[in-house]
Amino acid sequence: MYKHDLVYLTEDASHDAVIELINEEAFGPGRFTRAAARIREQGPHDRTLSFICADDGETIASVRMTPVLAGSVKGHLLGPLAVRPSHKNQGIGRELVRIAVEAAKRKGSEAVILVGDPPYYGPLGFEKVAYNALTFPGPVDPNRVLVVPIAADTHERLHGSIVWRDGSVPAVVAEDEDANEMVPLTAIAV
């Protein structure tokens, strides 16, 4: 029996070609027509929240996170998640999802959203989004729209369109008690 030497790493530009190959293997040419792909075309994914799994130095799986505005929720769209056929059913995809969701929480994301199979993603903390609550830039099965709610009021605010958002850190604004006006503070890296 072959012993795997699995390592999980943050994605970088050197992984782009093999990630494209893994996604082509997993999803074929139809991957470009999906509604989630329409969102990803609007802007780049967040490499700091995107991860790969390598086995003995060979990249064999990946997950990407794209910053989105879903209704009024500033979250991340998870996907694509893909594992090479030679490494399926070993828990690699689940571990990549776990790592990505935890990283999004640390970065201050309000939710992690995806279009996927509830039986697979449910045990990983994903819940169904209210039926037809989010409008995607293309058709999706509303029963497959799932979320890990991070902010307390996530479900209440997940109503409207889901679109790419600039994932750069916004300026933090605090109220100046003396002047009773808004004063911008220095941006904080999260």
Q: Is the pLDDT of residue 11 over 90?
A: yes
Q: Specify the pLDDT at position 187.
A: 29
For residues 168 and 161, the answer to whether their CB atoms sit within 8 Å is no
Q: Specify the pLDDT at position 16.
A: 92
Q: Band of the pLDDT at 6, cuts 50, 70, 90? A: very high
For residues 129 and 116, the answer to whether their CB atoms sit within 8 Å is no
Q: What is the pLDDT of residues 136-167, one digit of tens each?
A: 999 999 999 999 999 999 999 999 999 999 96
Answer with the residue of higher pLDDT: 92 or 185.
Answer: 92
pTM score: 0.83
For residues 126 and 147, the answer to whether their CB atoms sit within 8 Å is yes
Percentage of residues in the chain having pLDDT higher than 90: 72
Q: Specify the pLDDT at position 23.
A: 82
Q: What is the pLDDT of residues 57-97, one digit of tens each?
A: 999 999 999 999 999 999 999 989 999 998 999 999 999 99
